[in-house]
Structures are given as C-alpha cells and as structure tokens.
Structure 1
Amino acid sequence: MQPDISPQITAPAGGWAPVTRRQQIAAGVRDSFSAGLGIFPLGIALGLLVVQAGLPWWLAPALSLAAFAGSLDLLLVGMMATVTPLAAVATTALVINFRHVFYAFSFPLHLIRNPVAKAYAAYALIDEAYAVNASLSEAERSAPRTLAMQMACQTYWVGGGLAGVAVGAAMPAPVKGLEFALCALFTVLTLDAFRSRGQIPAVLLAGASVAVALAATPEVAMLTALLLFVGLLLARHALTARRPVAEAADA
C-alpha cells in the first residue's frame, strides 16, 4: 500500500509537521496514544462479554475485524447471545452508526490516493479516529499519518479483545462497569478537540441538539441529535459565509 503524499508539508504557525514518510507514520502512531487509552479497555470489555455470554472466543477478534465499530460490537454480543432477529440487528446498526456518514464530509480521505488504502481509511473511520484527526491542523495531516493512526487504533481494539478473552476465561465471576470507558473516552476526546479548536458555538449547538433530541425523541435520540446538529452547523456555516460578503458590500 503506497498512498500518494506531498513530498513536503509546511508546518503550521507555532507547530511542527512531519516531512518524511517515516516521521508521518511515527506521528500517526503517537496521535493514537490518547485514544488507545480508552480503546484498549473497551476491547477488554468486548472480550469479557464474549466469554461471559458463552460465545466462542474467536468472536471477539472476528467482530473487531468484520465490524470495527466500538459500541456496536458490544451491543452485537448481547444481540447474538439472545438470538435477536436479523432485521432488529440491521436497524440497530443503522441507527448507531449513522453518524459515520457525516464524519466522511470532513475526514481527509482526499489525501489518500491509493484505492485500497482509501477503502481501509473509510472502513476504519471510527469516532476516536475522527476526533484525533479533528485536533490536527491542515498542514499536519497526511495519508501516512492518518492511516498509521487508524491502524494503531484497530490494533488496540483487536489486542484488547484478545486480552479480554484471556482474562474472562480465567475469571469465573462476571465483570461489570468496564464499558464506562466508552463514555470517558468520548469525554476526553471532546475536551481535547475543544481546547485545540476553541469552538464554543459548536459545543453549544451540540449540547442544544442533544437536549432537544432527548426531550422530543428519546427512543432515537442519537439519530435525531445528529441530524439536528448537522442542520445547525450548515445554518451556521451559511451565516458565517455571508457575513464577509455583507461586510465587503457595506465597505
């Protein structure tokens, strides 16, 4: 896999952008560390759930590779254990992962020219990868850095699942509460993105979207909040785009 990259990247003001392919890959792996602190424990939770549900151990790495989707994998374990109808599984997967459609609008897939590499980047576009990438400036982004970060994130997930299987096989008593790492991880990533961008309006719009969704459609709050948030962001973008034009006309 040899994705096309620019031979030189201009460093942002006050920052440093890796230039060589090796530096970009190393930077991508370093970028994944903060997300990996939450992804690996979640993988352990997945492995534990697989074992405690009485399912075969190989289901943990199989889900980690076939459906690299974090929270959906955890739900799928329970649904498989209870033999949930396929239609219900498909609907659940659509509602939970519908947000990924919007991620693709601003994720730098255009930097990746190799079709195989681009397909992997789209497949491995999880919440953590999107949040980590959002904290980088345009000058810091590159195909090798993005792919290295995504591969490292999936390595944490698969490795955590295998570790969870091993721990679950050695522990007869069920372990509860480990899935809270998902909420903690998203909180940390959100705070990092906010501090690096300082987007107070976006945070307020997101909070308002969640509040309205929980009050209006609690059963499908996530989908409603995402759609509302995207609509508000588009409206905000239209207003901010018109402001310079209006100011120029007044001048």
Structure 2
Amino acid sequence: MTENTAPRALPTGPTTALPTAVSADGASAAPAASGDVRMAVRGSLPAVLAVLPMGIAFGVVVAQSTLPWWWAPVFATVIFAGSLEFLVLGMVVSLAPLASVAVTAFLVNFRHVFYALSFPLHRVHGRGARTYSTFTLTDEAWALTASPEAQSWSRRRILAVQATFQVSWVVSVTAGALGGTLIPDGVVGLEFALTAFFLVLGMEAYRVRRSIPVPIMALGCALAGYLVFGEGMLVAAMAMFVALLLVRYAIERRKTRHA
C-alpha cells in the first residue's frame, strides 16, 4: 500500500478557520449566559414567593403611615433590607435622631459580616459588580448560596440571583403601597409577615445544612438574651450565638486533627 502524497486542496474564499471558531465560541457563550440567568431565576422563585407577601405588607404599612406612598419604593431601593426597613420606617415617622437610626442599622445588619464569610464573592469580578453584590447581599441571597455547589457558580448567576430578589422586593413594596389605601384599618396580622419570612429562611437553611444543634443554639441564645436584657436582647443574643459557634468550630477542628 502506497501513501497518498498528493497535496490537499486548501479552503478558499472569505471564510477561514479562525473566524469560524470565534463565531462558534460567541454562539455558545450566549446560551450559557441565558442558562445561568434561567437557573438563577428558577432557583430563586421559592424564596421570592416568601418575599412578595412581606414586601406587600411593608408597602401597606408605609401607605398607612404619615409618609406619602412613594416613600415605599424609595426605602425598598435605597435600604433594601426588609427587617431594617420596618424598623427605620417607625424611627423616621417618630423623628428619631440620626445617630439612633445609624446604630440600629448597624446592629440589625451586623449579621451580614458573617454572611460574607461564606458568600461566593470571590466569583464576582469587577469593581462595579462587587459593589452591587455587596449591597444586595440579603438573607435570601445568602441562603441560596450557602451550599458548597454555589462556590463554583458564575458571576452572572450570582448577580442574577441578587437582582431577582431586589426587583421582586421593589415591585412588591410598590404594589403594596399603591393598594394600601384600599385595605381597611381593621385588618391585622400583616406585621407577622416578617416573622413568617424568617421562619421560612430558617427551614430552608436547615434543609441545606441538616444541623440540629445550630438552630437549637440560636433559639437558646435568643431566649437567654430576652430573659436577661428584654427588648435590648439583640446584641447579647448575637454575641452568645457567635461565641458558641466559635467554640463548636474549635471542638470539631480538634476532633478532625485527632481523627
């Protein structure tokens, strides 16, 4: 058998291999990007369903306060922290000092410092993207990114999750503010929306971690803080809970070393 050494015909015309490869890459990048966004929105929907009632409730509370209704979307966009917005609204209506508002905001959102320890911010590149991701780091976004798989998510997927929650919150708050005047004053129970929402987040966090001691420790710290400090239990309860978590981490690390 003889080897065919005849020269092969080279491709002619304006189409070359390099543009074809670049075009193929560009074509595959678009479906990947849209796929990340779809997965982000689909994964956020269960938590969004819990956000909507609380957002509507907050909008109703703003509409029934002494402030104009359009303050509701302002609070939702600028503050973007559900529990803090309820507190700040009452302080603004009562003309509380700015220092009190600042201290309250610090204490309520101090938990976000610990959120950042496990949030996949290292996957979010770019100064503007990191700034937005830090600003929109909420309980919902942290709960969805608490799994180990989220540490390998793309920047687009992480930002899409956070943007989904922000848009849903602003829309629900605005809808609640616009329809708040139609709700009779005798309706009660809207203030429980915030408590119910955090119960849902706690249940979802348990489904991810499957750790019984952690929620028990959190409940014990909250009860102890309330019994000792009353309404000012927040700082004490959080301090006790963090201390217990550090002790638990040290014990587990020592067991791992000696295993």
8 Å CA contact 2:73, 2:170 repeated in 1: yes
Q: Deviations over 1:109-149 (max 9, x none)?
A: 11111111111111111112212222463466332222111
1:72 to 84, 90, 99: 84
Q: Which amino acid aligns with 2:205?
A: A
2:105 maps to 1:105? no
1:60 and 1:81 mapped to 2: Cα distance? 13
8 Å CA contact 1:24, 1:144 repeated in 2: yes
Moved over 4 A (4+): none
1:58 to 62, 70, 87: 70
1:66 to partner: Cα distance: 0.9
2:179 maps to 1:167? yes
Instruction: Give the CA RMSD over aligned residues.
Output: 2.1
1:36 to partner: Cα distance: 1.2
Tell which structure's C-alpha radius of gyration is larger.
Answer: 2
1:228 to 224, 240, 243: 240
C-alpha distance 149-136 of structure 1, shift in aligned 2 (>3 A): farther
2:151 and 2:117 mapped to 1: Cα distance? 18
2:182 and 2:231 mapped to 1: Cα distance? 37
2:165 and 2:101 mapped to 1: Cα distance? 25
C-alpha distance 57-194 of structure 1, shift in aligned 2 (>3 A): same
1:198 and 1:47 mapped to 2: Cα distance? 35
8 Å CA contact 2:123, 2:152 repeated in 1: no
C-alpha distance 79-175 of structure 1, shift in aligned 2 (>3 A): farther
* Other-structure match for 2:193: 181
Q: How does 1:1-251 map to 2 (within 5 A)?
A: 20-135=32-147, 137-138=149-150, 141-171=153-183, 173=185, 175-247=187-259
Structure 1 length-normalised TM: 0.83
Q: Which amino acid aligns with 1:234?
A: L
Higher mean alpha-carbon deviation, 197-206 vs 166-175, is at 166-175
C-alpha distance 174-47 of structure 1, shift in aligned 2 (>3 A): farther
Q: Deviations over 1:142-194 (max 9, x none)?
A: 32222111111111110011111211133463643213122112112211221
Q: Which amino acid aligns with 1:106?
A: S
Q: Which amino acid aligns with 2:106?
A: L
C-alpha distance 40-139 of structure 1, shift in aligned 2 (>3 A): same
1:112 and 1:175 mapped to 2: Cα distance? 43
8 Å CA contact 2:54, 2:197 repeated in 1: no
1:81 and 1:42 mapped to 2: Cα distance? 20
What secondary structure, in the 3-state scheme, does the structure 1 residue paired with 2:68 have? Answer: coil
Query: Any gaps of 5 or more consecutive residues in structure 2?
Result: 1-30
Structure 2 length-normalised TM: 0.81
1:29 to partner: Cα distance: 1.0
Q: Deviations over 1:8-38 (max 9, x none)?
A: xxxxxxxxxxx93322221111222122112
Q: Which has the higher contact order (CA 8 A, sep 6+)?
A: 1
2:226 and 2:152 mapped to 1: Cα distance? 37
Identity of matched residues, %: 41
8 Å CA contact 1:48, 1:175 repeated in 2: no
8 Å CA contact 1:60, 1:165 repeated in 2: yes
1:205 and 1:169 mapped to 2: Cα distance? 42
2:222 and 2:154 mapped to 1: Cα distance? 32
* Other-structure match for 2:24: none
